[in-house]
Amino acid sequence: MARRKKKSPPALGDDPLSFRGDDEARSKQHERNNIDTSKQSDTAISDKNIPDATVREDDSQGSVTIILDPVITLAEVSHLKESLLGYIGARQIQVDVSKVEHIDTAGLQLLLAFSKVFKKQGGKIIWLGWSAAYSNTAELLGLTAALGLEES
pLDDT at position 131: 92
Average pLDDT over residues 79-101: 90
Three-state secondary structure of the chain: CCCCCCCCCCCCCCCCCHHHCCHHHHHHHHHHCCCCHHHCCCCCCCCCCCCCEEEEEECCCCEEEEEECCEECHHHHHHHHHHHHCCCCCCEEEEECCCCCEECHHHHHHHHHHHHHHHHCCCEEEEECCCHHHHHHHHHCCCHHHHCCCCC
pLDDT digits (tens, 9 = 90+) for 93-149: 999 999 999 999 999 999 999 999 999 989 999 999 989 999 999 999 999 888 877
Q: How confident is the model at residue 3 (pLDDT cuts 50, 70, 90)?
A: low
CA distances from 152 to 61, 69, 125 (A): 20, 20, 11
- Looking at per-residue pLDDT, the higher value among 66 and 41 belongs to 66
Which range, of 17-21, 30-34, 37-41, 77-81, averages the lowest pLDDT? 37-41
Q: How many CA atoms lie within 13 A of 51 on its CB side?
A: 8
pLDDT at position 87: 86
pTM of the full predicted structure? 0.62
Look up the CATH architecture of domain 50-147: 2-Layer Sandwich (3.30)
pLDDT at position 129: 92
Domain ranges of the chain: 50-147
pLDDT at position 110: 95
